[in-house]
Amino acid sequence: MYLALKHTHITFAVLSILLFSLRGFWMLTTPEKLQRRWVKIVPHIIDTLLLLSAIALTVSINQYPFTHDWLTAKLLGLIAYIVLGTIALKRGKTRNIRLLALLMALTCVAYIVWVAFKHSALPWL
């Protein structure tokens, strides 16, 4: 069961990252594509399934945020990613602000993935 949950979580994480990156590219090149109906719906479905698989994984391995540092780091990284992602794709007032937020959001994603692989809040150590 654990491996199925882990692979499901990884699959939704990859899909979420790829779709966010595509939306970021469109924001920079052809912002009108962000107004397509499926572009507004599919990311929410994928991210909901990603979150549900994350919750199922934490329960299955009996490790929880605010109890285990690496999961707390992932959660805080996720919150930063969400805030930066909304600035990048919706709320940024200028193209430069959106670009900076996009790069920072992708940096958060890289950190989250690194933490997940190392199971450490400070994966570079």
pLDDT tens-digit profile of 1-20?
999 999 999 999 999 999 99
Q: Which residue ranges make up each domain of the chain?
A: 2-118
Task: Indicate the pLDDT class of residue 116, thresholds 50, 70 and 90.
Answer: very high
Cα 86 to chain centroid distance, Å, stands at 12
| Tens digit of each residue's pLDDT (9 = 90 or more) over 102-112 | 999 999 999 99
Dihedral (Cα; 64, 74, 72, 117), 10-degree rounding? 70
Burial category of 20 from C-beta neighbours within 10 Å (exposed 0-12, middle 13-18, buried 19 and up)? buried
- Contact call for residues 13 and 109 (beta carbons, < 8 A): no
Tokens coding 107: 């940096």
Does the reported pTM lie above 0.85? Answer: yes
Structure tokens at 14: 């990859």
With 0-12 / 13-18 / 19 or more C-beta atoms within 10 angstroms meaning exposed / middle / buried, residue 69 is middle
Q: What is the pLDDT of residue 33?
A: 97
Query: Residue 31 — very low, low, confident or very high, per pLDDT cuts 50/70/90?
Result: very high
